[in-house]
Amino acid sequence: MLEENFLKLLSEFTAGDPMRDGVLWTNLSRSEISRRLAEMGTSASRHTVRKLLKKHGLGQRKTRKKKPLGSHPDRDAQFQNIAKLKVEYMDKGEPVISIDTKKKELIGNFSREGRTYTQAPVDTLDHDFPSAGEGKLIPHGIYDLARNQGHMNLNTSHDTSEFCCDSIAHWWRHYGCRHYPNARRLLLLCDGGGSNAANRHVFKEALQALANSLGLEIRVAHYPPYCSKHNPIEHRLFSHITRACLGVVFHSVAIAKQFMEKAKTCTGLKVTVDILTEVYATGKKCADSFLNNMKIIFDDYLPRWNYRAAPQTS
């Protein structure tokens, strides 16, 4: 009788996965199921309910972001191309870096996900209104694949192509050139959108200026659409930055810097963090002179995702 009531109860509060036959879930807790079973005349403890749930294949699980939004016909071809480029550059001791902008954060007394050990409760504002804070933190990350080293540049202005390239320039002048003193080329792995979008001429203009400034040939390889999670920086740097900052209130940019620098792994990840104070304007247009005389060299193979900016002397 108990099991019959259990199945009858769940039939009213169970939904299925439209993509997979036989996969069910229920939004009732064990305590709620136990209470409703008692009302039906068959008392059952939470322990008994757990056994019944297990028997019928209903386990407690979180949703997982696994299903891609879409797929591109050249997806696998570009992944193979990126793999080949990485081997080519790393075998010659030339830098390969993965870049992206991490999730933006409000600066101020705002609650953040996670828990910390404290001697007293930490009270934050009950609403996350940007006007109640000190601005928005924009964390731009750079991950050196060969050295397993990450770098974060923090800014409070805007996430623009100019900021992206300034972030790379700062990393190279303060860190990269020390580790790769003989490098003449740099491989840049990035997503296809955002401040380093593959279809934005303003990014290519900033990239050309970066190549001219550093005296490096900068090759860009974009990951295909819907594949940003495969960008190495996501799981080799950003996930550890997130873990190091769980539950920390970013009262200031300096506090964010302090905790991001603490990110490390047992495999030797090291993280450096700097604050860039420049102000970047949005809505910048690409100069006509650049469009008319673009020096960007596009590959013959998948040119929309693969191109180079060679340093120009004039």
pLDDT of residue 97: 98
Residue 302 — left, alpha, or beta (φ > 0 → left; ψ -120 to 50 → alpha)? left
Cα separation, 184 vs 207, in Å, equals 15
* DSSP bridge pairs for 153: 140, 274
pLDDT the model gives residue 62: 62
Strand 185-190 and strand 96-101: the pairing is parallel
Mean pLDDT in each 10-residue stretch from start to end of the chain (314 residues)? 85 60 68 88 89 80 63 92 98 98 97 86 92 96 98 98 98 98 97 96 97 97 94 96 95 97 94 98 92 94 97 80
Phi/psi of residue 292, nearest 5 degrees: -80, -25
Rounded distance between C-alpha atoms, residue 181 and residue 94, angstroms: 10
Pull the structure tokens for residue 293. 């005389």
The pLDDT, as a whole number, for residue 167 is 98
Model pLDDT, residue 49: 87
Contact 63, 53 (CB under 8 A): no
The residue to which tokens 């999730």 are assigned: 103
pLDDT number for residue 247:
94
pLDDT value of position 65: 64
Query: Could you tell me if 158 and 191 are in contact, meaning their C-beta atoms sit under 8 angstroms apart?
Result: no
CA distances 96 to 78, 110, 111, 163, 197, Å, are 16, 36, 36, 20, 19
Residue 11 one-letter amino acid: S
pLDDT value at position 67?
A: 63
Could you tell me which residues are beta bridge partners of residue 147?
Answer: none
Residue 68 is predicted with a pLDDT of: 62
